[in-house]
Amino acid sequence: MGSIDWIRAYCLSLPHTTETVQWGNNLVFKIGGKMYAIAALEPDDHWLSFKCTAEDFAELTEREGIVPAPYLARAHWVSLQSEDALPAAEIRRLIRQAYEQVLAKLPKKTRTALLGSA
């Protein structure tokens, strides 16, 4: 397993991110009430899950240590089975992309409330 401290710090550095503990032992990161990443608080067979693009989903799930996320695969979520499945810089890039993707899909009213009028 790996430490999720840096994942938590990174997610919370993204504007308007909230965190909750759900399903017993998962730290869930959300923007506008919608999930974009889930980190396991206790050792599990999934260390970190996040939303990705359809292209990234197809490419990432070909890699060792990365599987379609249980229950969320149809929405293009992947699970890293351990911290070393990907380099930290790539994990940060993919989390940022997940955040941006979910933010873009929020209702306009919610986005405006979060970001102010642009």
Segment 27-68, tens digit of pLDDT: 999 999 999 999 999 877 889 999 999 999 999 999 999 999
Task: Give the Å distances, CA to CA, from 47 to 7, 66, 67, 109.
Answer: 11, 10, 11, 33
Top CATH class, 5-115: alpha beta
What's the rounded mean pLDDT across residues 4-19?
Answer: 95
CA–CA distance, 31 with 38 (Å, rounded to integer):
12
Of 92, 75, 90, the residue nearest 34 (C-alpha): 75
Q: Given the structure tokens 């890039």, which residue do they identify?
A: 93
Report the predicted TM-score, pTM, of the whole model to 2 decimal places.
0.91
Per-residue pLDDT tens digits for 88-109: 999 999 999 999 999 999 999 9
